[in-house]
Structure 1
């Protein structure tokens, strides 16, 4: 005679006191809550499984229970009498509790054969004489069971038990998907709350920055008026940099924070003016790094832009070129019109970029190996550049080879 499968339990019932402790476990009840099934409406995905179990095993009733702290809730059932079929819930001790405590398939051929089984209320109220329950688990905790009952004593065959076990596996997968969906929704809400919190912090910081920036702007303007003519260009660069910082702070306070749309702030600007202003603004940084900033060919084309934001774009690009160029080299800034487009190009003599670095250059938060070692950035510079340029209806192109430097081109529509 073949030995029964290892997953079966045809043994004496678990101690009733131990059953209560198992059912009331906080971890198990938390897993039940995570499914969101207790009290939920019937669903065909579960009903089809209980109907199939009743037909294949030729039993009068089949059901999927979700066992809470004080009741069994029947997510699906077929064959229950009224009023239980309508109520879909049963308080008090049930065979499902013993299935949970046993934590494996519980098989009862005759409920009258043991005084503990005979004392379960459904033996009298429903006339249960034979029972099989398969535990259903979510996140390592047993939340319920897939069960069949008969109103006559019955010797369950191994084939019948394996059939029910396979159907229970399908039900368990469905339960796992529901729990994963609920967890994903909760994680999504947490992420939204975190994003809102960060935006609020950014808005507060941006708001508080406006006052000191205004003081700097007024002070720089006053100094510019009072200083000798030959020293005014230095203060002029400070004024332009402060204007750019004010624009960034105002952008952070807008509805989309960092990259707020610039509609209504565009004006016609000469390409040569923009290039010259960007070079003048970045000149002190280049000088400190031992880099020579040079203006190459400048076209007099006119473009419609948010001046402060496009100055920010060129400032980021020039800053990157300076950062990755060796001292004693030059960075060239030029503006060339080609048809209906203006090409603003920043060319350096730095270390260049690999194919992998080129592929990921515009990813938010990404930095190359040298950038991570230096620890002097957040990997947002080129992401911001591309976003702001695309906001202006343009695009960004990079040409680079290791050891041969990099040329980054901002392509914008001309007027």
Structure 2
């Protein structure tokens, strides 16, 4: 780790032990999907590493969160089961807890922020959970959930800062090392730290030489900042909403400080590219947080070159419209899709001449729009924007060259 931990921190006993993770594995066996760990030769060739993928997006609720939630539920006393559980979550923890609570006949209440997409609310209600919409932010929802828990005598199940939840999440790594014992570097997305805590603890026993690396979105570097003793500045709209946590857990930070070698940051472009690559190469849908491990390999290639890397694809719950935007933006960055702004003279035949060049270069025109009024050109000026489809960056460059060679002023509309 980049920060030097205090001796007192290292001496302090951790919230969980390898035995807790192994006990969780025995407890939840047969009640969750034992997802496959498979090598991706194509990603290995692209990154210069041997790459194994853990397909946690194949869980029933499409996320690893089921493991920790189930482990916590199975540890409830009969009296606690009768009273029921409550959680604060806007995503995967809500669905995992609600699903297994229904299976076990345990009443579940989930508090979600008012901005939570309706599809997630409906999916959670579909597991017979009572959904309470409260607050604009997760912090407000959490406070409200604690208030309800105290008033109604419910057991609060934290999404990451609970030893039983942490131990349950660690079963991900236990399975990975059983299926691919040659993994020497484990890359884990980090939000509050529950998953990487469980994974690093079990690794300390079954793969003690394995390098454990965390990954956070640049917009939410809460764990990294906390470890470095820096102010936590975490805000903004990130594709990796599943790890968009402003404050890591009190139980998880000491584990990460002791057992994790580094926490890397990845930008939004790397996250988008990783989501697109996993769909194109592995034919699997992964949400932004779930693609963070691959994003780290893309953003920090030297860190992993020549290593045998295990990536945890934590979940696949991504809105279909958002996924479509990500895929189209990736095509645009690769030159497969482009929008060209072309200045024309306001006379007949101009657009026909442009279209001929597109035809000659075998470029497909998708959309055309003219701008005569809302432009800074002279009154007789005309600007047209053409959205087109090419075979890639080189093909697009040849088109632009041909247009400029014919006397047209061309600029490419770039993505932000």
Q: Which interval holds the TM-score relative to the shorter structure?
A: under 0.3
> Greater Rg, structure 1 or structure 2?
1
Instruction: Please report the TM-score for the alignment, with normalisation by the length of structure 1.
Output: 0.23
* More contact order relative to length (CA 8 Å, sep ≥ 6): 2
Relative to its length, the structure with more helix (as a share) is 1
The TM-score, its normalising length taken from structure 2, stands at 0.23
